[in-house]
Amino acid sequence: MSHLPSDHPPMKPRRVGVLLANLGTPDGYDYWNMRRYLSEFLSDRRVIDYPRWKWQPLLQTVILAKRPFTSGANYKSIWNHDKGESPLMTITKDQTAALAAELPEVMVDFCMRYGNPSTESKVKAMVDAGCDKILFVPLYPQYAGATTATANDAFFRAVMKQFRAPAVRTMPEYFAHPAYVGALAGSVREAWDALDDKPEVLIASYHGMPKRYLMEGDPYHCKCQKTTRLLREALGWEKDAIQTTFQSVFGPEEWLRPYTVEHVAELAKQGRRHIAVVAPAFSADCIETLEEINGEIREAFLHAGGERFTYIPCLNDRADHIAAMAQIIREELTGWL
């Protein structure tokens, strides 16, 4: 920029950034990596809202004394040992690369709400690269306070620390966008077409939350029910062909029901031989899908008398998913490009 005076600090060309965000992953499955990750995750007031004076002593002295061992063993069973990272990290990197290729006019990167790379570090990197506008994209199709909202919280805190704060937008939930519904339905059709023995029912299993959060106004439960309906309509299936359940129950409170692990066992006891499970709340396969659904929940069904269990992978970096996300992101960037 030749018009600048000689003593002016250097200025980078202005850019637009797109920052993807997912939940997070530990750096390793050993005790201390797991403890650091779980401590950050379970200390988030959006996730566990008990009073700190009551929750933190229990978390730090009891839960984190034992849970890192069991969670570490679960992560080890699904770990990408070739790359030294969790599947969620591998898939998120692949999604980022694919979206960068689809959106060459912007800078695309990713961060994690918990663990690394942190939201703060990636916001700083984008600002340092010249991004004066950033679209923040939480990779959660349905809004929930414990996912979308806390990711946005971390993003806003990171922006507050920038000397030259960029203009920002946050992408809203996108579960009802036709392109996303189309990609989700496409993944189910593809799985169905590959099976000679068709499942008798499809379970749409969503990450759960305490029922109290629903009563206090969190719309997540309603968004999940609508996602199932939109998926069923896109497939052209009968009303009872897809059933909504919730998984990953934690703590003593009642959570959203029916619980997936109990529901699939009941289906087996009712004589259902073959079921399929899809996880529409997850944009990428992770511990909750690869270990919980395809492990614990599969075993519950088979142990109760079921014969065949089909897990339909998350959309991950499927071409139709990437195309859908690129379309949604471009719509959110209207006026910036």
The pLDDT tens digits for 33-69 are 999 999 999 999 999 999 999 999 999 999 999 999 9
User: Do residues 92 and 110 lie in contact, with contact meaning Cβ atoms separated by under 8 Å?
Assistant: yes
Residue 4: pLDDT band (50, 70, 90) is low
CA–CA gap between residue 65 and residue 126 (Å, rounded) = 37
In the structure encoding, which two tokens stand for residue 102, read together?
């689809």
Average pLDDT over every residue of 86-109: 98
- For the segment(s) 178-312, the CATH number from 3.40.50.1400, 3.40.50.2300, 3.30.200.20, 3.40.50.300 is 3.40.50.1400
Confidence of residue 239 (pLDDT cuts 50, 70, 90): confident
CB 99 within 8 A of CB 283: no
The reported pLDDT for the residue numbered 10 is 67
Query: What CATH class is the domain 15-173+320-332?
Result: alpha beta
pLDDT-derived band at 12, boundaries 50, 70, 90: confident
In the chain, residues under CATH classification 3.40.50.1400 are: 15-173+320-332, 178-312
At residue 1 the predicted structure's pLDDT band, cuts being 50, 70 and 90, is: low
pLDDT higher for 107 or 250? 107
0.75 cut: is pTM over it?
Answer: yes
Judge whether residue 187 has pLDDT over 70.
yes
Sign of CA dihedral 218, 220, 225, 227: positive
pLDDT given for residue 113 in this prediction: 98
Mean pLDDT of the chain: 96
pLDDT at 2 over 80: no
Summarize the confidence of residues 235-247 as an average pLDDT.
96
pLDDT exceeding 90 applies to what percent of the chain? 94
